[in-house]
Chain A
Amino acid sequence: MAESLLTLASLSKSFGGLHAVKGVELEVEKGSIISIIGPNGAGKTTVFNCISGIYEPTDGAILWKNRSIGGMAPDRIAHLGIARTYQNIRLFSHLSVLENVMLGQERLLRTTWLGAIFGTPRSRQESGEVLVRARDTLEYVGLLELEDRLANELSYGDQRRLEIARAIAGKPELLLLDEPTAGMNDSESRSAIGFFQQLRDDTGITLLLIEHDMRVVMDLSDRIAVLNYGEKLAEGLPEEIQTNPQVIEAYLGTSAEI
């Protein structure tokens, strides 16, 4: 069994009386691609927000390499090597494409404002590296020609790609993708599947994604976890999930029988 990168141990989050996430267990192995699926309002994005530090879990633990990170500030979690994208794209829309990707590299940077003012050799060297890495990443996702454009001038698909570029520019170990193929047509999703597989093979990155497109989920995932009303309904290989009666019931309603 491969090394466990991230573990959710009976993770719970409630907002007042609303239990958005209840006792979710999840094991994410290094180098795997795991999908979280579930109907709208099942608590998928809340799980992401807990992992990336935006919410503090009400109960339970989030372990990163066997270290508890629940309730840690988002910037510290980013520094550990967990990057994410957003369901509704959130780029720095008035900054250039290049600068967006440069901002994804924060966790790799060490120079400070003092180094910047005095123009120390280290600071200059680091600036050079940031630029080179940003261009490499842009080339990897195929946006290099657009580096000088503003982020909000890009097409929807390119904005999705830029958001992924920004997330992987800091060489994270775990990438949280919140509905990466939302709004894409068939051929676009197909190429997205190819892209994510390629990305995993090239960098050994671990992917945890929320996805609605069942083709993407079935083709891409090593394992699938199903959430419903904040609770984990099932977990398993794609084939197992496909034929799980509980899952089908959650998606299609009670009357649906196999």
Chain B
Amino acid sequence: MDRNKFFLKVAGIAALALVYVMFTGMVETFGGRDIIANVLNLGQILMYLPPFIVGYLVMRAEAPSSTLVRYLTSIGAGLIANTPAAIVALFMERVQMRDTFANASPNLVEFMTLGIQPLGVGILVFWLMGGLLATFGIAFSFLPQGARRAVITAFASIVGLALMSNLFGQILRRFFGGRPDRLLFSADALRISTSLIVFVFAAVLTQYQPLLRKQFGRHLTSLLPSGILESGHVTNGLGLIVLLALPWVLGVFLSEVLANVGLFMLMALGLNIAVGLAGLFDLGYVTNFAVGAYLVGVLTSTGPQGIGQFNFWLIVPISIVAAMFTGFMLALPVVRMRGDYLAIATLGFGEIIRLLALSDWFAPLIGGAQGVLFIPKPAILGFSFQTPQQIYYIILAACVVVLFVSRRLDISRTGRQWRAIREDEPVANAMGIDVTWVKTLAFTLSAASGGLSGAIFASKLGTIFPHSFQLLISVNVLCIIIIGGMASIPGIAIGSLLLVGVPELLREFSEYRYLFYGLLLILMTIYRPNGMIPVKAQQHSRGFGPEEGSDAGKTVPLPAPATTVT
């Protein structure tokens, strides 16, 4: 009984997923992107994967029945998965469905049926394909676990490499000149030869990874002076060198992408102070971003809205302070709220600021819907930051500063107070923590880097409009933190790359960007609720202890030998 339920459930979900991806046009759009040139495209992967997975899952499910029954159920499940899509396609010719399914086009049917005519036969082929793919899934389930992992990794590497072909292509062109990328890629897709090499390479690497890591690790550690890896200076130094060299490696277009990633990372690092460290859900972060952007816009612009035409660097501290002031003022009324209420109240502020920017009331000052134009690029001592590569360095410096400050706060008494109110507010209060003040402080400090990123954003873009300050900015920044991992700095870096960088590189699928976000959020909450790189609670404890050089420990008598070990 249970087994029947499982088999029906899996097949049903796959069937729904198939109908969804087909008739919202995903299969067609993704079909435009070849993964392996002229062999496999993304749409086909999307269409063929569900019955394959169904076959695998049903076969693997523990079963009391005989092997033959298991084969048949798995294949049946694959067929069921393809049935609804086949039925819809069959009736598409007869019934006019384009009103409901705008994407149910003849092209889609051709894609499904592999172009086989007449239609009935083609759809039969599509339907039977479900069984065939399920059979492949069965075969896959017979592979040993290591081999399965190798195949999945290899396959994922091919897809990833093909999707990022633009990235690799540009880097290769920059380094070797000419078109070396044509050796590997053909029109954004991997050549068959390349994909074979990648497949074998990735598969072998997965198989021997533990062994390699051990061997390589031993050699590496024997080369370096002992203890140098633990101190973190070497890895931090190397990381910084890589970050400094990146724009030179990547070129103009990719540096622009990277600058956007950095800008969002800057915001996420700031919002993380409120959300990650203090546990306050702030959905109005765009407010601070807008304050910073408009201050720089109005005070540095050489256009009609400009007042004073001050230097960018003079206005940056002012925008930071102004954003902090806004954060402080907005915190005052909402700081006593908790959880959902807080999120909704701050969400309101985010909308208010956009409407204010758009309003006729402020239009004489900040341009209303026309926005602020002619904002000059940052310049200092005659040097002007013009290209994305140059602006990247400003963003990198800002990120390093915010990172440093939030790290210092995190390990200090203030960070501890934030963690305490995140855990249990009334008890934190009873421990002597002024809860209202500590929360207001989190909002205020968090606002600072919003103001900073707004300032850089205005100067980088040169023009700002009210529609640049939508709710989606706040949502995006919050998603980066949630998906990356609350309070986790590496998590935020990964989150920014994944949620800002990847969509910039895959603009052709931008329609489905938020679908991808939603899916990712759902999967994350189910499988990794603490984010991609969660923080360990223990690592906060110490802060600047006596370890960090000062002789603070000696000012207090140490009664027992155990306490002197720090």
Residues of A within 8 A of B (CB): 52-54, 73-75, 78-79, 84, 86, 90, 92-96, 98-99, 102-104, 106-107, 109, 111-113, 115-117, 119, 121, 123-133, 135-136, 139, 144, 147-148, 150, 166, 170
Contact = CB atoms under 8 A, between A and B. Distances in A.
Interface in B359-409: 405, 408-409
Contacts of A96: 537-538, 540-541
Nearest to B554: A128
Contacts of A92: 419-420, 423-424, 427-428
Contact of A136 (B409, B414, B432, B559): B559
Given A90-B424, A113-B414, A75 B544 contact: no
Contacts of A75: 429-435
B431 A78 contact: yes
A86 B552 CA distance: 33
Given A93-B423, A127-B543, A131-B545, 7 more contacts: A53-B430, A116-B415, A117-B408, A128-B545, A131-B543, A147-B541, A170-B431
B145 interface: no
B563 interface: yes
B468 to A, nearest CB: 30
A73 B566 CA distance: 36
Interface of B: 405, 408-409, 412-417, 419-420, 423-424, 426-435, 441, 445, 537-538, 540-546, 548-550, 552-553, 555-556, 558-560, 562-563, 566
B419 to A, nearest CB: 6
A215 B25 CA distance: 76
Contacts of A131: 542-543, 545-546, 553, 566
A148 B538 contact: yes
A26 to B, nearest CB: 20
A54 B427 CA distance: 10
A84 B412 contact: no
Given A144-B562, A150-B537, A133 B556 contact: yes
Contact of A116 (B408, B428, B430, B553): B408
Most buried by A among B417, B543, B555: B543
Given A96-B541, A117-B409, A127-B413, A132 B431 contact: no
- At the interface, is chain B mostly helix, strand, loop or mixed? helix
Nearest to A116: B412
Contacts of B416: 99, 102-103
A79 B433 CA distance: 9
Nearest to A98: B541
Most buried by A among B405, B416, B424, B445: B416
B555 A103 contact: no
B544 A119 contact: yes
Contact of B419 (A53, A99, A126, A127): A99
Nearest to A93: B423
A164 to B, nearest CB: 14
Contacts of A107: 432
A45 to B, nearest CB: 13
A104 B419 CA distance: 13
Given A90-B427, A127-B412, A99 B548 contact: no
A78 B430 CA distance: 6
A117 B537 contact: no
A53 B434 CA distance: 13
A93 B408 CA distance: 23
B433 A123 contact: no
B377 to A, nearest CB: 29
Contacts of A119: 408, 544
Contacts of B414: 112-113, 116
